Amino acid sequence: MSTRSLSIGIGSTPKRVLPGFGLSLGISLTFVSLVLLLPLTGLVGQLADLSLAQYWAIISDGRVVASYIVTIGAAAVAAIVNAAFGLLLAWVLVRYEFPGKRLLDALMDLPFALPTAVAGITLATLYSSNGWMGRLLEPLGLQVAYTWVGIALAMAFTSIPFVVRTVQPVLEDMPVEVDEAALTLGASDGTAFRRVILPHLWPALVTGTGLAFVRSLGEFGAIIFIAGNMPYETEITSLMIFVRLQEYDYAGASAIASVILFVSLALLLAINIWQGRFIKRLHGGRG
Amino acid sequence: MSIRLQNVAKHFGNSRALEPLNLDIRDGELVGLLGPSGSGKTTLLRIMAGLESADREPAGRIQFGDRDVTNLHVRDRRVGFVFQHYALFRHMSVFDNVAFGLTVMPRKSRPTSGEIRARVHRLLEMVQLEQLANRYPAQLSGGQQQRVSLARALALRPDVLLLDEPFGALDAKVRQELRRWLRHLHDELNFTSVFVTHDQEEALELSDRVVVMSNGRIEQIDTPDALYRAPVNRFVFEFLGDVNHLEGSVRSGVLTCGDASLKVALPDGEDELLLRPHEVELVEAPTADAHLPVTVTAISPVGAEVRVELEADWLGEPWLATIRHADFERLNLARGVRLFAVPRRWHRFPEERTAAAMSLLETVS
């Protein structure tokens, strides 16, 4: 029914064969508007109270800028570490059979399921100077809790599933024959990986790493307990937003939040465009 | 370069994929490994390539010419391998795919980039794809992709070319064309090739010799002609083409089965005769030797012949006869017409062999 009304509305377009287009698209758009766009619009709306100069003053405040550096630096380290270990984990999960494989596979989703605060408290206890790990690392001069290393660790913990879960299906789809073909052509294991397997996985790996990075930018609960929250040193941007909110400075909170929002959006968009180009190239520019 | 396998066997876990077997392939030969799925033909090919290792116990040996390659890694065996689904590197252009083997050679022995370029272009010319050098695999048809994969396999001038169901994923016309073209290429470049197929027509058309396999065993190795004329056992006979069965009891030189009878020079007892469709003649009246009444149930003209399906009360499964168009017109054939079949010749594989084969089949499955 809805398809018919839709095609009549558009006029000359022929009737669609797949049913439910109008209904499903309508519901999807409504949902996206309510859950995604409305809050974002609200956020931007809050900014209307600020003049451009005020906005700039808030987002370029020294303490806030320091928090950008801490957040982006730690997120970058976490993303790179996750790219390497996420790729390894996906590889192990796809290419080998071993007892407990299913368990390891299920474990990958744990960071998604676990309340981030629980993860944060656990990590903080583990790595504080009298925790299990902290006690081992302290004599080596490695301070994890209450430093940016701890922040990166918490970020890595919460975002590893992004890399594993984006690379895994691509690796599963990649025929083993491609690998074997490289070997029959005389390639060493390293060359085969570098020139055949990695380029195959590259788009998925970059996407997963990008998602992990963006997720880390906005992480709050897991980090806050392990970060120590020293102004100019271990304060993350999410915390700055939280502090503004506690001072009932909604406009200030929105201003800082908008920075994170725009950086994340720009990054996601860039990854999408880049990936689109990559896929287009495989089909010779005809997409 | 000749290939010699001695005592090569393979188990996957507890199931046996290959019985210990020997195989000699001569230098420059084009050999087809033919068998139903699960017969071990692909496993055998992959063992030759080094993509699969043979069982350690019993210790087998694989030789290419005088070279013992049993324990050699696949990358050092100098084999060209063509996969059923091409296995092209989809992020590389056609040129880069073909050049891959040359560009990953150790720096010392690697040709200069100019030489690589010239060689790749020669190969692409050979497979008639030089205009498509800058395309990506996703832009090519299946037949073109398989030709790229062949050029890629030949780039390193391998001693041995191994092809795993190379035409299996292509449509009938392209398959036919590529077959002829592979045969031509083989004769021109004179390498030793082994290919796997489950299509008996392909094996018979393309190979110098065919290795027929079933259940991890080699049933027969012979030229296509000898194979078709003198199959060593019932499996080979049945696998190489359509077969009509005639089962009955023989008494004093006459085999009877319901109201059908046929004079045969066989001892008394139960027996089964096998006939190829072209060995069945259709006539309007029974002869002195054969009284086999049948009814025509389907007619389909295929190329130079007409395929006629025959049924009768005394037949378990319908028979298939192929007759010439001239006979077809003379007999005035139509569905429902009643005729008599006369075997021009028949084949028989003594029961004990079949029984042995059957019991083996049961133990394997």
Q: What pLDDT shows up at residue A20?
A: 84
> Do B132 and B249 reside in the same domain of the chain?
no
Task: Name the 3-class secondary structure at B279.
Answer: helix
Q: Does B181 touch chain A (CB under 8 A)?
A: no
Residues B219 and B272 both lie in one domain: no
Quick check: is B364 in a domain? no
Asked if residue B11 and residue B129 are part of one domain, the reply reads yes
State which residue of chain B sits closest to A175, comparing Cα positions: B87
What is the C-alpha separation between B107 and B101, in angstroms, rounded?
12
What global pTM score does this model have? 0.79
Is residue A5 located within the same domain as residue A123?
no
- Whether residue A173 is found in the same domain as residue A202: yes
Contact flag A186-B81 (C-beta cutoff 8 Å): no
Same domain, A93 and A147: yes
Same domain, B183 and B326: no
Residues A125, A27 share a domain: no
Tell whether B137 and B263 lie within a shared domain.
no
Give the CATH number, domain containing residue B21: 3.40.50.300
Residues A40 and A71 in one domain: no
What are phi and psi for residue B201, nearest 5 degrees? Answer: -65, -45
Mark whether B297 and B336 lie in a shared domain: yes
Residue indicated by tokens 């025509």: B296
B136: nearest CB among A181, A185, A284:
A284
Question: Which residue from A178, A186, A191 is facing B87, i.e. has the nearest CB?
Answer: A178
Q: Cα distance from A182 to chain B (closest Cα, Å)?
A: 8
CATH number at residue A237: 1.10.3720.10
**Could you tell me which chain B residue has the CA closest to the CA of A176?**
B87
User: Residues A77, A118: one domain?
Assistant: yes
Of A214-218, A247-251, B43-47, B229-233, the poorest mean pLDDT is in: B229-233
If asked whether residues B204 and B254 sit together in one domain, one would say no
Per-residue pLDDT, averaged over A165-188, amounts to 92
pLDDT above 70 as % of chain B: 96
Examine the pLDDT at B359 and tell me if it is beyond 60.
no
Q: In chain B, which residues have their Cβ closer than 8 Å to the Cβ of A185?
A: 75, 100-101, 104, 152-153, 155-156
- What was the pLDDT predicted at A285? 53
* B265 and B216, same domain (yes or no): no
Asked whether residue A74 falls in the same domain as residue A199, the answer is yes
Q: Computed from CA positions of residues A216, A220, A221, A226, in that sequence, does the dihedral angle turn out positive or negative? A: positive
Comparing A134-143, B193-202, B291-300, B319-328, which segment has the lowest mean pLDDT? A134-143
Query: Is B51 in the A-facing interface, judged by CB distances under 8 Å?
Result: yes
Give the number of domains in chain B.
2
Is residue B274 one of the residues assigned to a domain? yes
* B260 in the same domain as B234: no
- For testing the chain A interface, which of B83, B123, B132, B135 should be mutated: the one with the most A CBs within 10 Å? B83
Contact check, Cβ <8 Å, A180/B51: yes
Average pLDDT over residues B180-199: 89
- Tell if the CB–CB gap between B89 and A284 is shorter than 8 Å: no
B284 with B148, same domain: the answer is no
> How do residues A39-61 score in pLDDT, each as one tens digit?
888 888 888 888 999 999 999 99
**Is A36 in the same domain as A137?**
no
Asked whether residue B56 falls in the same domain as residue B112, the answer is yes
Evaluate whether residue B355 is within a structural domain: no
Residue B350 within any structural domain of the chain? no
- At A206-254, the pLDDT tens digits run 999 999 999 999 899 889 988 888 888 889 999 999 999 999 998 999 9
**What is the mean pLDDT of the segment spanning B10-36?**
92
Q: Rounded to whole angstroms, what are the CA distances from B6 to A128, B50, B125?
A: 65, 15, 38
Distance of CA A161 to CAs A107, A153, A211, A236, Å?
Answer: 9, 14, 10, 22
**Enclosing domain of residue B49:** 3-239
Query: At residue B95, does pLDDT exceed 70?
Result: yes
Any domain includes A12: yes
Domain that includes residue A31, residue range:
1-47
Q: State whether A132 and A95 are in the same domain.
A: yes
Between chains, do B138 and A283 touch, taking CB under 8 Å as contact?
Answer: yes
Residue B342 contacts A, CB cutoff 8 Å: no
Q: Give yes or no: residues A100 and A41 share one domain.
A: no
Same domain, yes or no, for A68 and A28?
Answer: no
Please give the backbone phi and psi of residue A136, each rounded to the nearest 5 degrees, phi first. Answer: -75, -35
Give chain B's mean pLDDT: 88
| Among B180, B206, B239, residue at a domain's last position | B239
Q: Any idea what the CATH number is for the domain that residue B261 is in?
A: 2.40.50.100
pLDDT in tens, B110-167: 999 999 999 999 999 988 899 999 999 999 998 899 999 999 999 998 989 999 999 8
Residue A155 is assigned to a structural domain of this protein:
yes
- Asked whether residue B195 falls in the same domain as residue B324, the answer is no
- Whether A287 is covered by a domain: the verdict is no
A21-30: list long-range contacts, CB under 8 Å, 24+ apart: A26/A2
What total number of domains does chain A contain?
A: 2
